[in-house]
Amino acid sequence: MWGGRFRDGPSAVMEEINPSIDFDRRFYAQDIAGSRAHTEMLAARGLISREDAGQITRGLDQVRREIEDGRFAFSRSLEDIHMNVESRLAELVGDAAGRMHTARSRNDQVATDFRMWVRDAIDRLDDALMALQEALIDQAEAGAETVMPGFTHLQAAQPVTFGHHLLAYVEMFGRDRGRFSDCRTRLNECPLGAAALAGTSFPIDRDHTASALGFDRPMANSMDAVSDRDFALEFLAAAAIAAMHLSRFAEEIVNWTSAQFDFVRLSDAFTTGSSIMPQKRNPDAAELVRGKAGRIFGALQALLVMMKGLPLAFCKDMQEDKEPLFDAADTLDMCIAATVGMVRDLRANAPAMRRATDLGFATATDLADWLVRTLDMPFRSAHHATGAVVRLAEERGCRLDQLDLVSMQSIEPRITESVFEVLDPSRSVASRTSFGGTAPVNVRQAARTARDRFLRTRPVGAGT
């Protein structure tokens, strides 16, 4: 492709390190779409003939069919998807193929392909995250009255409902979708026509190609258009945060499926056995989701390090932007699918959750609140008195509701029999009716609201 300047061929190691076709072949659909739009614009501007444009577009359609049918022979000697497509096009339509590259460079071509690919990936991931939210909402509605211990520091804190716990993740994944949507909005500017870095002297119409490819506008600066990859970094940052949320939920499942918790059960579909211990049912799907988050974090770090020292404009280092992003997108997609499967598959063990709320004095805060509300005690005084009641129950090895009234009155004489009404975990969760609270009535309403917020509309900026 540059034989006019170079006399000798590349060394063997250069032939090994230089090609990108092994991974950038993923861009074939975006690359062909970009070439079609560019060709149509060139013809509309009179820069190539309508006849040549017709041959080129028909040839590009055939190239796409060959790739999708598995009949296309990719060549490493042609380096990348752009030259592989153009070379095959030349075989099909002859000299007209060479006119397609008028007023563009591989620099603006790859930047356009990459933005289009990431845009498509965001739309796929948004659908996947929405499916995960739907699965969680379904389970949350089923568990709206299922009482379980809520934890801080992995210590029993206050009673909550299983549905409320699951809806917390619905909110997290909703914000993940919003981050991807924001990324999509910012990346949706078209580099095509920026050429190598300085623009072109040909009278092209960049608004034409931007519109044809679904972009909001052309990028305003030709050097920025070909040299920056902040859209890829933003995508990876959003992916890393989503992977972190998935990992946290996976950790919940690992804990909940253990014999020590036994809060939920997973079927054979998402667990494995042991080669030596026949009793084992290991939550391997959850553990893999938890583990694969590190790959996505690493992809973000790799791209940040690669970009941090590059001067304007394009540098060959930027060929290293694709493999980490492809791997991160694939990994995140798989992790979301596995998590959807686990959420659909899991069965809550309500009796075990209810038994666990009897451990750790989870209604202690309810007792303190009762002292404030009924006896008009300052909260700090109520907190101190409740701590003394908890210590007494701990010494006797019983729950708070198993202490007799006389024993409680030895700490605070004004306590009455009505205190026992707030020491039951079910009553505790029912009382948490403040906005965003865990009361079953709240959970049902929150689930209905979540369906409207997340399942019937895309975040602003997302594709349709």
Catalytic residues: 153, 274
Task: Measure Cα distances from 298 to 85, 234, 304 in Å.
Answer: 32, 14, 10
Contact, 423 vs 401, CB < 8 A? Answer: yes
Structure tokens at 15: 């032939």
Contacts for 256 with CB less than 8 Å, ≥ 6 apart: 262, 263, 264
Q: What is the Cβ-side half-sphere exposure of residue 114, based on CA atoms within 13 angstroms?
A: 29
CA distance 248 to 243: 9
Nearest-CA neighbor of 228 among 148, 303, 178? 303
| Longest CA span, the chain | 100
CA distance 299 to 307: 12
